[in-house]
Amino acid sequence: MKSNRSLLPVTLARVAWPALLLCAICLGFIPRGFAAEKTETSPWSIQVEPVQAEEGQLPPDFSMAVYEDLIEQLVKTNKFRQVYRSGDHQADRVPNLLVLRMTLLNFERGNETARAVTTVKGATKVQVHLKVSPRDGKVLVEKDVQGTVRFFGENLKATVALAKDIAKTLGETSFPEPAKAAGQ
């Protein structure tokens, strides 16, 4: 009996670990659920323009990845009535349209192998300057945003991080009523 008692902490530890893990997972998911409920659809629609960069500064696969990832993330936020792509003729008829423009500030192409071997080297970074404005109105949002992949994953994951950050920024922004924005 005594030996059983001495093994009790070991047994408890074995049971406690999965239970703690389960709790951590639940706690991680619950706030996300609440955050998703909080997002309200604004009366605005948004049109995304591709990243503006000097020739040769941003590889085309990264440029397209930022553009496509951003559209995907903006749709996920449910913040905007409609998310339009660059050059979409349907956006011409939309009255309350915001235009999202990005200018490249910095791009560092890392190396996945260097990341896997050293952990501290080989990070991929994409930094852009973000501007959101109505068609002919004042700039409503202006911010520098960066996407980085430091440890695991391919270089293009930096664009996903960047897109998520931009979508989060816009999701948290309270845009003015369309009439007020036009009057400014």
Partner 1 sequence: MPTVRGNTRSCISLLLYRRATYGLRTLAPALLLVSLFCTSLYAQTATDTSSGASGVRAMHVLGLSGVKRNVHGTLTAQASGLNFAAKGAHGTVPIASIQDIFTGQDSRQVGGKVLTVAKIGVPYGGGRVLSLFSHEKVDSLTLEYRDANGALHGTVFSMPLGQAAVLKKQLVALGAHVSIPVESAPEKKEAGGNKQ
62 binds partner 1 (CB under 8 A): yes
146 binds partner 1 (CB under 8 A): no
Which string of x and - marks every residue 157-176 that binds partner 1 (by CB under 8 A)? --------------------
CA distances from 68 to 72, 80, 85 (A): 6, 16, 9
In the complex, least distance from residue 183 CB atom to partner 1, rounded to whole angstroms: 30
- Candidates 105, 141, 156, 182; binder of partner 1 (CB under 8 A) is 156
Number of residues that bind partner 1 (CB under 8 A): 40
CA distances from 66 to 17, 93, 138, 145, 173 (A): 39, 26, 25, 12, 20
- Positions in 37-56 near partner 1 (CB under 8 A): 50, 55-56
Nearer CB in complex with partner 1: 96/124: 124
Antiparallel, parallel or unpaired: β 124-134 and 141-149 = antiparallel
8 binds partner 1 (CB under 8 A): no
80 binds partner 1 (CB under 8 A): no
Task: Please give the Cα distance from 164 to 69 (Å, whole number).
Answer: 8
Strand, coil or helix: what is 173?
Answer: coil
155 binds partner 1 (CB under 8 A): yes
148 binds partner 1 (CB under 8 A): no
Q: Taking the C-alpha atoms of 128, 39, 23 and 157 in order, what is their torsion angle to the nearest 10 degrees? A: -20
Cβ–Cβ contacts within 10 Å for residue 105, how many?
15
Task: Summarize as ranges the residues that interact with partner 1 (CB under 8 A).
Answer: 2-3, 6-7, 10, 50, 55-65, 67-69, 84-90, 107-109, 111-113, 116-118, 152, 154-156
